[in-house]
């Protein structure tokens, strides 16, 4: 059994976002793993995600292109490390598809992200961890608006999936 990877790093290299969401884990999972849904919620408005490709398997590609309000585009490519349907999704941009070393990130930020979904009451405990190699990288990511951005994106996911369920 793999070690518990949900605990923040003791050296404070992780950023954590958590919220109780009034959606079942399956709905949140679908939003995270369906390209046509990701393009509707993944990037906090007014930015947008204009393209997404997913090969949902360990070693599979997670690719997105974000666009700023000024029209600048930001392609991002990563590799799924762990896929546990409706429970846990882990990916990194330190690796490309098939676990090939990546050539770099457009913003210079190398992270590993873990999303954990735990059924709780009539909803889901949504837990996200962004892991960084250095304290400087964690601080830069925090300064980019990690908490606000992930909160806005989750609000957009909730609105989208609530409409889909209704």
Q: Is 80 exceeded by the pLDDT of residue 99?
A: yes
Q: Could you tell me if residue 35 is inside a domain? A: yes
In this prediction, residue 165 has a pLDDT band, given cuts at 50, 70 and 90, of confident
**3-state SS, one letter per residue, for 37-95:** HHHHHCCCCCCEEEEEEECCCCCCEEEEEEECCCCCEEEEEEEEEEEECCCEEEEECCE
Confidence of residue 109 (pLDDT cuts 50, 70, 90): confident
Q: Kindly report the CATH number assigned to the domain that includes residue 93.
A: 3.30.530.20
State the DSSP code for 8. Answer: P
Query: Mean pLDDT in the chain?
Result: 91
Evaluate if residue 138 carries a pLDDT over 60: yes
**What are the tokens at 85?**
């349907």
Does 48 map to a domain?
Answer: yes
Greater model confidence, 25 or 2: 25
Residue 61: the pLDDT is: 97
Q: Which residues span the domain enclosing 66?
A: 15-165
How many domains is the chain built from? 1
What is the residue-wise DSSP string for 99-138?
A: GPBP---TTS--EEEEEEEEEETTEEEEEEEEEESSHHHH
Range 106-122 average pLDDT: 91
Distance CA 111, CA 12 (A): 14
Residue 87, C-beta contacts closer than 8 angstroms, at least 6 positions apart: 25, 29, 116, 117, 118
Kindly list the distances between the CA atom of residue 105 and the CA atoms of 95, 96, 108, in Å, as whole numbers in the listed order.
10, 11, 5
Per-residue model confidence as pLDDT tens digits over 28-56: 999 999 999 999 999 999 999 999 999 99
pLDDT for 6 beyond 60: no
Per-residue pLDDT band for 108 (boundaries 50, 70, 90) equals confident
Between CA 82 and CA 90 the distance in angstroms is 5
pLDDT at 8 over 70: no
Beta bridge partners of 61: 79
Does 55 map to a domain? yes
């Amino acid at each position: 059994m793999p070690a518990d990877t949900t605990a923040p790093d003791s050296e404070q290299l992780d950023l954590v976002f958590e919220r109780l969401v009034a959606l079942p884990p399956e709905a949140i999972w679908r939003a995270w793993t369906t390209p046509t849904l990701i393009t509707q919620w993944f990037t906090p408005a007014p930015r947008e995600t204009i393209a997404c490709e997913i090969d949902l398997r360990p070693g599979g590609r997670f690719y997105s292109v974000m666009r700023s309000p000024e029209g600048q585009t930001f392609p991002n490519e990563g590799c799924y490390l762990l896929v546990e349907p409706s429970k846990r999704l882990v990916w990194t941009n330190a690796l490309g598809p098939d676990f090939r070393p990546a050539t770099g990130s457009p913003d210079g930020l190398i992270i590993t992200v873990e999303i954990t979904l735990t059924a709780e009451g009539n909803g889901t405990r949504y837990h996200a961890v962004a892991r960084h190699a250095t304290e400087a990288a964690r601080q830069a990511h925090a300064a980019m608006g990690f908490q606000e951005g992930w909160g806005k994106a989750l609000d957009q996911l909730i609105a989208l999936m609530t409409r889909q369920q209704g």
